[in-house]
Amino acid sequence: MQFIEYAIAMTDYERLAQRLKLMAHPERLRMLDILRRSPECVCHLEALMGRPQPYISQQVRLLHRAGVLQSEKRGQNTFYRVSNPEMLAWLSQVLGPVPEVERGIHRPLPDCVCPKCQRGPVLL
């Protein structure tokens, strides 16, 4: 019996399976689709996704701990985004590319209290 030599180590398969498990979730995919376009805070995600703050925070925490999201504190708010090039490329494969005109563009919501919506359209 002949064994096939695989180029990928077992630990890499495990890492990939963990990522797929983390991503196999419609709300997390939606969240990543939002955060790969523009950095947003939890309150904006709450308004945009129509989910309660504890739920949003829980999903953000999971993705942040896994290294999928990066955070940046600005004043009282923490903004989350996808900035890892490998992750952005992976999301582009899965979700399709972000159109050029939508990159870095924050779309304000009329009933959102986040600092970016209060200031109107912002490039960040």
Residues lying near Zn ion in the complex (CB under 5 A) are found at 44, 112, 114, 117
Shortest distance, position 52 Cβ to Zn ion, whole Å: 16
Helix, strand or coil for residue 68?
A: coil
Residues paired with residue 73 on neighbouring β-strands, in sequence order: 78
Residue number, 95 or 124, with CB nearest to Zn ion? 124
Question: In the chain, what is the straight-line distance between the N-terminal and C-terminal CA atoms, in Å?
Answer: 57
Residue number, 66 or 124, with CB nearest to Zn ion? 124
Contacts of 2 (CB under 8 A, 6+ apart): none
Shortest distance, position 87 Cβ to Zn ion, whole Å: 23
Shortest distance, position 77 Cβ to Zn ion, whole Å: 10
Residue number, 69 or 112, with CB nearest to Zn ion? 112
Residue number, 32 or 40, with CB nearest to Zn ion? 40
Helix, strand or coil for residue 107?
A: coil
Beta strands in 29-103 (DSSP E): 40-41, 70-74, 77-81
Shortest distance, position 13 Cβ to Zn ion, whole Å: 39
